[in-house]
Homo-oligomer: A and B are copies of this chain.
């Protein structure tokens, strides 16, 4: 999870956004990933007003800042990164894939302000908008369909900024596996059940026991379930030994 201060240094700048649903979606993704500096440049008048009532990120939208120009929106930032779907727009700028781009942005935002620019739904950033950028980033979409929905593009970029890098600490939620003794207890009960049901009599092979033992161990038995499996097998064994007509 990122520190608060790091995220405060990054502002999301939406340039000429048309659709209020998209502004709302951007605000929601920012809220999900812990970013709260939203700037809009020259939005379609109505779009920004309507977005303010969008669910899920009301606070963030209420504090969003509106600017008439890109220059004013990025004032105070020492790194300005534009987003583009296009790979080779007569390359005036370096274009970086999102993964390495995010590493540079994260490093920079530790102690400096960074602006991340997204263009309009239809045209993206203009050459003039891009002229304010130090470099561009692109999300690695496939060639057949490079154009992403604005809200989804922002969500993916912000996720990449907060995702854990290589030093991921193991999560505690990993299943603890049953011990060898527990597995042996299950194996023994299963063998008794298989005897009781006639299974082992019908398939007489020399290494039946070892086979069953291997079959049991190829499953990864979670420790938490060892007791319930043991309970099931005990009950089945009891019923087989008791004989008589089935109850269930």
Contact = CB atoms under 8 A, between A and B. Distances in A.
Interface string A127-147: 000000000000111101111
A57 interface: yes
A218 B232 CA distance: 16
A202 B235 contact: yes
A133 to B, nearest CB: 14
Nearest to A135: B175
B163 A235 contact: no
A193 B25 CA distance: 50
Interface string A48-88: 00000000110000000000000000000000000000000
Contacts of A145: 28, 31-32, 56-57
Interface stretch (A38-46, A107-115, A222-230): A222-230
A149 B94 contact: no
Interface in A140-192: 140-142, 144-149, 151-152, 155-156, 159-160, 162-164, 166, 168, 171, 173-175, 190
A200 interface: yes
Nearest to A138: B173
A29 B148 contact: yes
Contacts of A240: 197, 236, 239-240, 246
A90 interface: no
A29 B159 contact: no
Copies of this protein, total: 2
Please tell me the size bucket of the interface on A.
Answer: 35 or more
B99 A168 contact: yes
A91 to B, nearest CB: 8
User: 3 tightest A-B contacts by CB?
Assistant: A195-B248, A152-B155, A197-B239
Contacts of A245: 243
Nearest to A163: B99
B247 A29 contact: no
A219 B151 CA distance: 36
A215 B229 contact: yes
Nearest to A211: B228
Contacts of A218: 175, 222, 225
Contacts of A243: 243-246
Nearest to A32: B141
A148 B28 contact: yes
